[in-house]
Homo-oligomer: A and B are copies of this chain.
Amino acid sequence: MERQLARQWLATAVEEARAGVAEGGIPIGAALYGADGEVLGRGRNRRVQDGDPSLHAETAAFRNAGRQRSYRGTTMVTTLSPCWYCSGLVRQFGISRVVVGEDETFQGGQEWLARHGVEIVVLGDPECVAMMKLFTAANPELWNEDIGV
C-alpha cells in the first residue's frame, strides 16, 4: 500500500495510544480498516483501565469492530509491532495487512505473518517510538506484565 495512506491510518492508532497515555494506561493503539478504507473498529490497550489483560490494542480494535463475516482485504494498523497473541489474531482471521507504527522497541510475530502471506508495512514513526521508550523506562514491571515476561 502507499506509505502516505498508511501514515494517515496510523494517525488513528496514535490517537488511541495518546488517549491511553492520558488515562495512565499502556500507550499502544490500533485500528482495523475495511477493504473500502473505512474504520471498522479502533481501540487501545486496556490492561490498566479495565484490569483486562486480554485487551491488547489490536484485540480491542478487533473487538470493537464487532462480528464480521470476512476479514479479506482488511488492515490492522497498530502503533507497535504485534505480539504473538495479536499476530495469531491476524493469521487466524485472515486479516490481509498490518501497518506497524514502530518495531524498534518490541517485535512479536511480524516476520512470521509476512511468511504466511500478510503484507507488513513498517513506518518507523518517531512518536510511536518515543511513547514506548518513555513508558517502558518509567514502568518496566507493567510492560513486562503486558507481554508475559
Contact = CB atoms under 8 A, between A and B. Distances in A.
A83 B53 CA distance: 19
A145 B85 contact: no
A93 B106 CA distance: 15
For the complex of A and B, list the 10 residue pairs with the smallest distance between their C-beta atoms, beginning with the closest: A88-B88, A93-B148, A84-B92, A54-B63, A84-B88, A85-B92, A85-B88, A84-B91, A85-B89, A94-B148
Question: In the complex this chain forms, how many copies of it are found?
Answer: 2
B63 A92 contact: no
A95 to B, nearest CB: 8
A125 B68 CA distance: 31
B51 A54 contact: no
Nearest to A62: B54
